[in-house]
Amino acid sequence: MFLLRVVGCPIVLASLVSIPSALNAQTSAEPTAYTVTSTNTLFGPPTTTHVYRLGSKALVDSNTSPSTELPKGIHIQTFYDLKAMTSMTVDVGESAAACTAGTVSGDWGDPFEGASVLTDPSGKHVGTETINGYATEIVEASAGSEGTMRAWVDPKTGLIVKALLIPTDGSAPKTLVEVTSVSMEPPRASVFEIPARCSVAAAPVTAASATTGSSAGPPKEFVEAIYPPGSGSPSSCTVLFRVVDAGTMEPITGFQVAVDPSVDGAHMPSYDISTDIHGHTTYSGGNLHDVSGQVRNGVLRIDHVDKAFELYVEFGNPGEAQALLYRQCFGPETVLLLMVKNPTHLSEGADWMWVTSGKYATIPH
């Protein structure tokens, strides 16, 4: 089925890591200067999202209303440089929260991406309707056991004006996205100024700083996994994957994980990843498959990975982490850690680290 990424959804925090899929092809009619405001209620409290773009600069500003689960709500801003393919995410509601630098290699949340929905062979064109002033084509596709996905798309610009999930149980449709206003006036340049508090976080940790143990990076016993090998053996080994709290190094469990064990970084496969209304994620495309059932006591044992492989880790409401990783072997069994800075707010960042030596190089029993 076609995949609609809900911009601003609190569990989709693609800025943590690179999104491993090719950028959607831009149609000739797709605008590059605009402000689009939309809402969604798929996960309960309404989320209002403003998407600003001016050429290669973009800002996705999402604000989720307070609720019982989220007393303060969530206000996240992600700034994109589409020329440099970099991003910076800020949790506006947390004054002490760190800014998270990332890279972009996939869908960053462009509301004018609907051309791919109109041409997707799994979609069925069921009619036309003028909605919010746009003459749209209506496309439907199966969402499996969850029901039917219905999207209203402006064929001239590719704007997804509205999208619903219609459950199979007859309950009320869930709003994936509904555009409430569009301005084609160029936003002010000041909109795209990254907050001053992010200046320290602007440069991601490099492989060099990770291996030297400088103050800019982690200590010597950890090596960044998102960079090609600079040390260790590139030969095969068994990967022991764990998720830990970066502050305490205590294990984090209860996650969902999928792996594509062999990836060509220069020719990335296209993945379809969708999360249902119950928070369960399904994966398809490439060789990506769910291996959550193989996790034992918080440890995933991966016996065969290629020089580059893909990992997706889903935590439910706190967020998700995704990365293209490069194999490094420091023994027959080598530990790979996802070190989460704040388990309740993944927007604050996480690091993928190989353990080269020391107490964390083995799995505690």
Q: Can you give the residue range of the structural domain that contains 181? A: 14-192
Question: What tokens were used for 171?
Answer: 């309950």
Q: CA of 188: how far to CAs of 35, 58, 193, 212, 343, in Å?
A: 10, 11, 10, 42, 35
Asked if 31 and 135 sit in the same domain, the reply is yes
Q: Tell me, yes or no, whether 153 and 224 share the same domain.
A: no
pLDDT category at 214 given cuts 50, 70, 90 is very low
- For the record, the structure tokens of 255 come out as 């996650």
Domain stops at, among 170, 192, 214: 192
Please report, rounded to a whole number, the percentage of residues in the chain having pLDDT higher than 90: 23
Among 15-24, 140-149, 162-171, name the most confident range.
Answer: 162-171
Give the chain's radius of gyration (CA, Å): 21
| Domain at 164, CATH number | 2.50.20.10
Instruction: Please say if the pLDDT value at position 185 is more than 60.
Output: yes
Is the same domain home to 148 and 261?
no
Query: Would you say residue 2 has pLDDT above 80?
Result: no
180 shares its domain with 233: no
Look at residue 126 in the predicted model and tell me its pLDDT.
Answer: 93
Q: How far apart are CA 92 and CA 115, in angstroms?
A: 32
Shared domain check, 229 and 83: no
Task: List CB contacts of 28: < 8 A, sequence separation 6 or more.
Answer: none
142 pLDDT band (50/70/90 cuts)? Answer: confident
Do 214 and 336 lie in a common domain?
A: yes
190 phi and psi, to 5 degrees?
Answer: -65, -20
Res 64: pLDDT: 84
In a domain, 130, yes or no: yes
- Is pLDDT above 80 for 69? no
Place of tokens 């605009």: 34
255 in a structural domain: yes
d(CA 216, CA 101): 14
- Write out pLDDT tens, residues 263-312: 876 667 777 777 766 667 888 888 888 998 899 888 999 988 888 889 99
Going by C-beta distance under 8 Å and a sequence separation of 6 or more, which residues neighbour residue 194? 79, 88, 90, 99, 202
Measured from the Cβ of residue 168, the count of other Cβ atoms closer than 10 Å reads: 12
**Cα distance between residue 143 and residue 208, in whole Å:** 45
> What predicted TM-score, i.e. pTM, was given to this entire model?
0.53
Which residue, of 164, 192, 220, is where some domain finishes? 192
| Structural domains in the chain (count) | 2
Give the model's confidence band at 322: pLDDT under 50 very low, under 70 low, under 90 confident, else very high.
confident
The dihedral sign for the CA sequence 155, 108, 46, 146: positive
Is residue 61's pLDDT more than 80? yes
Residues 248 and 300 in one domain: yes
Tokens describing residue 18: 């690179």
- Say whether both 185 and 228 belong to one domain: no
Is the pLDDT score of 98 beyond 90? no
Q: Is residue 269 part of a domain?
A: yes
Q: Cα(205)–Cα(217) distance, rounded to whole angstroms?
A: 6
Q: Does 198 reside within a domain?
A: no
Least confident of 113-117, 181-185, 320-324, 346-350: 346-350
**Binning pLDDT at 50, 70 and 90, where does residue 107 land?**
low
| 169 and 23 part of one domain | yes
My answer on whether 183 and 212 are in the same domain is: no
Domain assignment present for 217: yes
Average pLDDT over residues 78-102: 76
Other Cβ atoms less than 10 A from the Cβ of 66: the count is: 12
- Tell me: do 173 and 210 sit in the same domain: no
Does one domain contain both 272 and 311? Answer: yes
Domain boundary among 158, 192, 226: 192
**pLDDT interval class at 103 (50, 70, 90):** low
pLDDT-wise least confident of 6-10, 139-143, 148-152: 6-10
